[in-house]
Chains A and B, each alone.
Chain A
């Protein structure tokens, strides 16, 4: 069964607009972590933001925020004031444990393109 679902294969957004990338997940664990990564054309995986399952506040990192709705099992990434450099693949990922020694599995990704 698919654990991480990203339903938007591609998105186009006008520069300076906000954009929401959708992510839903499935787990029976109580302790888990959710990640968002950005992958530009160079291939490197750039860590953006993390949300622990017990965190009551939505995570924020600069222009990135994670809209965590635990009951709905969703963890959408919001990018405010998008920039041309935000064009890349974005992956939602989950670790079914709080241990950093546990594996992370990825969603299928969303390709974000920012229009000037």
Chain B
């Protein structure tokens, strides 16, 4: 199957700083990427859908100015958590779509963000 990478895998930052998470589709061109967050022992909640070259579509309740998403190329999408606070601490997972196979959806390994 296709490979999706995320960087960094783990990040600890101070409250008020911004953190950028990268999601790369390594072996296919992902026209669409999805960003999820997952709190401990909870399910994945879709935050936004990003399409290459256009603005992201955010789910209801997700702050656009807080979670900046950029999908500059067919292989890279970034999520920037701006002015992070402890309540933003979570597991962030990206997923790449738009490939030829409809029966698969590839996920990155996730990024664990801890805001002190």
Interface residue B114 (Cβ < 8 Å from any Cβ of A): no
Write out the residue numbers on chain A whose beta carbons fall within 8 Å of the beta carbon of B103: 33, 50, 52
Could you tell me which residues of chain B, from 60 to 116, have a CB within 8 Å of some CB in chain A? Answer: 91, 93, 95, 97-107, 109-110, 112
State whether A106 touches B97 (Cβ < 8 A). no
Q: Mark A34-57, 1 if CB is under 8 A from B, else 0.
A: 010100001111010010100000
Contact in complex: A100, B107 (CB < 8 Å): no
**How many Å from the CB of A24 to the closest CB on chain B?**
15
Segment 57-116 of A: residues with Cβ below 8 Å from B: 91, 95, 98-109
Complex contact A47–B43 (CB within 8 A): no
Query: Contact flags (1/0) for A9-47 with B, using CB distance below 8 Å?
Result: 000000000000000000000000101010000111101
Bound-state Cα–Cα, A33 to B97, Å: 14
Chain A contact surface mostly: loop
**What is the bound-complex CA distance between A86 and B1, given in angstroms?**
21
Please name 13 further chain A to chain B contacts, defined as beta carbons within 8 Å, in addition to the given A91-B44, A99-B102, A108-B43, sorted by A numbering.
A33-B102, A33-B103, A43-B109, A44-B109, A45-B110, A50-B103, A99-B97, A100-B99, A100-B101, A101-B51, A102-B97, A103-B49, A106-B43
In the bound complex, do residue B110 and residue A101 qualify as a contact, i.e. CB atoms below 8 Å apart? Answer: no
Select B34's contact among A43, A47, A98, A104, beta carbons within 8 Å: A104
Q: Which residues of B contact A (CB under 8 A)?
A: 1, 31-32, 34, 38, 42-46, 49, 51, 91, 93, 95, 97-107, 109-110, 112
| Interface residues of A, Cβ cutoff 8 Å to B | 33, 35, 37, 42-45, 47, 50, 52, 91, 95, 98-109
Q: Are A50 and B44 in contact (CB under 8 A)?
A: no
Cα distance A91–B38 in the bound complex, in angstroms:
12
Give chain B residues whose Cβ lies under 8 Å from the Cβ of A103: 34, 46, 49
B98 cross-chain contacts in A, Cβ below 8 A: 100-101
Indicate if the CB atoms of A105 and B109 lie closer than 8 Å: no
A107 to chain B: which residues have CB within 8 Å? Answer: 43
Shortest 6 CB-CB contacts between residues of A and residues of B:
A45-B107, A50-B103, A101-B32, A101-B98, A43-B110, A100-B97
B105 touches A43 (CB 8 A): no
